[in-house]
Structure 1
Amino acid sequence: MSPRLMRVLVNSNFFIEEKNSSNQEVHYWLTPASRLLLKGAPLTVAPLVQVILDPTFTNPWHHMSEWFTHEHHATQFEAANGCMFWEKLANEPSMGRFFDEAMSCDARLVAHVLTKDYKHVIGGIRTLVDVGGGDGTMAKAILEAAAHHKMHSY
Structure 2
Amino acid sequence: MRVLAASGVFAQSSDSGGYRLTPVSTLLLSDNGGGCRSLKQMVRLELSPFCVSPAANLAEWFATDDETTPFAKTFGTDHWDFCGRDPGFSAFFNDAMACDSRFVMDAVIHEVGGVFDGVTSMVDVAGGTYRWSRQGGGHGVPAYRMHGARPSSRDPWHSG
Q: 1:63 to 1:30 in 2, by over 3 A?
A: closer
- Pairwise mapping of residues 4-153 of structure 1 onto structure 2 (< 5 A)? 5-6=1-2, 8-20=3-15, 25-40=16-31, 42-64=36-58, 65=60, 69=64, 71=66, 74-134=68-128, 135-152=139-156
Deviation at 1:30, TM superposition (A): 1.1
Q: Distance in 2 between matches of 1:136 and 1:54?
A: 24
Q: Percent identity?
A: 28
Q: Deviations over 1:28-85 (max 9, x none)?
A: 22112101101345421111111111112222223342586475x6322111110111
Query: 1:13 deviation in Å?
Result: 2.0
With normalisation by structure 1, the TM-score equals 0.80
State whether residues 127 and 141 of structure 2, in contact with CA within 8 Å, keep that contact through their aligned partners in structure 1. Answer: no
Unaligned runs of 5+ in 2: 129-138
Q: Which amino acid aligns with 2:28?
A: L
Q: 1:128, 1:151 within 8 Å by CA — same for their partners in 2? A: no
Question: 2:109 is paired with a residue of what secondary structure?
Answer: helix
The CA distance in 2 between the partners of 1:127 and 1:146, in whole Å, is 11
* TM-score between both structures, scaled by the size of structure 2: 0.77
User: What SS does the aligned partner of 2:57 have?
Assistant: helix
Q: Which runs of 5+ in 1 are unaligned?
A: none
Go from structure 1 to structure 2 and tell me whether the alpha carbon gap of 1:149 and 1:113 turns closer, same or farther (over 3 Å shift).
Answer: same
The number of aligned residues is 143
Deviation beyond 3 Å, 4+ runs, structure 1:
66-71
Residue 133 of structure 1 and its aligned partner are, at CA, apart by 4.4
In structure 2, relative to structure 1, the CA distance for the partners of 1:144 and 1:89 (3 Å cut) is: same
Greater Rg over alpha carbons, structure: 1
Higher strand proportion (structure 1 or 2) = 1
**RMSD over aligned Cα atoms:** 2.2
Change (3 A) 1:45 1:67: same
Partner Cα separation in structure 2 for residue 36 and residue 53 of structure 1: 15
